[in-house]
Amino acid sequence: MAGKTVLITGSTGGIGKATAIGLAAMGARVAVTGRDPERTRAAVADIAAASGNPAIDGYVADLSSQALVRRLAGEILEAYPRLDVLVNNVGGFWATRHVTVDGLEHTFALNHLAGFLLTRLLLERIMASAPARIVTVSSGAQSMGKLDFDDLQGERAYSGQRAYNASKLANVMFTYELARRIQGTGVTATVLHPGVTRTAFGAEDPAAWGFFSPLARPFMKAPAKGAETPVYLASSPEVEGMTGIYFANRRPKTSNPLSYDTAAAARLWRISEELTHATEPG
């Protein structure tokens, strides 16, 4: 990865931070993002120390805000003449319904729309850097997901688990649709399940911990193990040219049957464009 530039969202802890360490250790310049300035600075120092690579840059942005997604994209475009890999990793779980500054349901806004908008804003630069890769971190929860196009914001009926499952299915559908749209550009789009990993996931919403039994924690993967698949998809020559594929444990897997509905994926894309006011190429 020497000479390559990588952007990883949501990378001040957990899988994102471990992915940053893994790619930095291979020689990449890595840009990490977080919401808290102090935590972001600390993560930059930790990643540099753990990888032995000082080429780590930190950016502060709450990606549930579309204005801050746009600001981050502008900063990235200004800082890097090329972008070889984008890892859409940021995400969260809320057991109770929250609304973002844009008036959107928080889970859908952060887990899906943030990555959708950031990818759209950076896509021209990524294509100019081809061969390049876009890697999106989903979850095994996608297999239980279903998109209710009449209630994507969970206004009529909200369940934290249902919203999370739907957002992770949206990650897969977005990746497949993106792969179709950028076919032949030299940019690949893949999506993955990192495995159930010990992270601070859901920590902001105390009610969420009911979904994650403390008894299960000893059986969860360490973040470094959870990062193995995103690191592999971002760097390995074995997956060069592979696109529109869902991976788990570094192997292609079949995703939720609903994810292969091309009409639904195109509909999700159009709605996502409307909700993010995305007019950029792609």
* CA dist., res. 92 & res. 86, Å (int): 19
Instruction: Label residue 54 left, alpha or beta by phi (over 0 means left) and psi (-120 to 50 means alpha).
Output: alpha
* CA dist., res. 77 & res. 80, Å (int): 6
> Out of 80, 164, 176, 246, which one is annotated catalytic?
164
80 counts as catalytic: no
Strands 251-253 and 245-248: antiparallel
For tokens 């760097």, name the residue: 235
Residue type, 45: A
Among 87, 17, 86, 31, CA closest to 59: 31
What is the chain's alpha carbon radius of gyration, rounded to the nearest angstrom?
17
| Positions marked catalytic | 164
